[in-house]
Amino acid sequence: MVTGTSGPEWGRLSAEIRGCTLCELHRTRTQAVVYRGGSSPRVVFVGEAPGAEEDRRGEPFVGRSGRRLDEGIAQVGLGPSDFGIVNVLKCRPPKNVFSPTSAVTCHPYLDRQLALLQPDLVVPLGAHALRSLDPAASRITDVAGAPRTAGRWTLFPMLHPAATFRSRQNLARWEHDLLALRSILGGG
């Protein structure tokens, strides 16, 4: 098996995701959103679901939350080839309401993406991403900012970047957890 995004397995998986009709979300999507990032990333960030901008452009985290995430990624010292971004749901849910049922259907895609990417660290962003990767985890605010093991992955949960626009407290927590992530990644 060729790991990363350069082998035929990744191409086949991406095509499968783009053509997926396994749940009702395919009826309302413009396009499925697969991946943005390097071909062999050290760190994979996992969001919840594409929003309107992502649905239109076909890439994860390209709206306001994406700008916050990209700033954070630069702050922790990761370069363009060091990170990757995926979502739990590959298709935008109507009104941006996360669908736990679709998340169950979609989960094998996330598993297969991670198995091919083989990152050193997986960063679930927000409660839904955390639950998808670690169903036993407690609240995101209890566990954000500290590494934990879930199956074969080391997770470093963080708040969803959208939460940083909701309160100054969330923004402070986000910045604090970025410093912890930076030091875990060896950036001091």
Which value, in Å, is the radius of gyration of the alpha carbons in the chain? 15
Is 61 one of the binding residues for ligand URA (CB under 6 A)? yes
Identify the helix (H) or strand (E) that includes residue 117.
helix 100-117
State both tokens at 49. Answer: 């679901």
* 41 or 47: CB nearest ligand URA: 47
Identify which range of 47-55, 99-107, 148-156, 173-181 contacts ligand URA by CB under 6 A.
47-55
DSSP single-letter state for residue 25: G
Q: Which of residues 125-184 bind ligand URA (CB under 6 A)?
A: none
| Binding residues with ligand URA: total (CB under 6 A) | 10
The CB-nearest residue to ligand URA is 47
- Considering the rule CB under 6 A, would residue 93 count as an interface residue with ligand URA? no
Closest to ligand URA by CB, 38 or 60: 60
Calpha distance 62→104 (Å, rounded): 25
Selected binder of ligand URA within 87, 99, 113, 132 (CB under 6 A): 87
Query: Shortest Cβ distance from residue 183 to ligand URA (Å)?
Result: 25
Q: How far apart are CA 67 and CA 70, in angstroms?
A: 5
CA pair distance 138, 136, nearest whole angstrom: 7
Cβ atoms of residues 54 and 63 within 8 Å: yes
Does residue 49 touch ligand URA according to CB under 6 A? yes
Q: Which two tokens stand for residue 120?
A: 């050193």
3 vs 178, beta carbon nearer ligand URA: 178
The answer to the question of residue 50 lying near ligand URA (CB under 6 A) is yes
Contact between 51 and ligand URA by CB under 6 A: the answer reads yes
State the minimum distance, in angstroms, from the CB of residue 182 to ligand URA. 22
Strand pairing category for 83-87 and 121-124: unpaired
What's the distance, Cα to Cα, between the start and end of the chain in Å?
35
Residues lying near ligand URA in the complex (CB under 6 A): 47-51, 54, 60-61, 65, 87
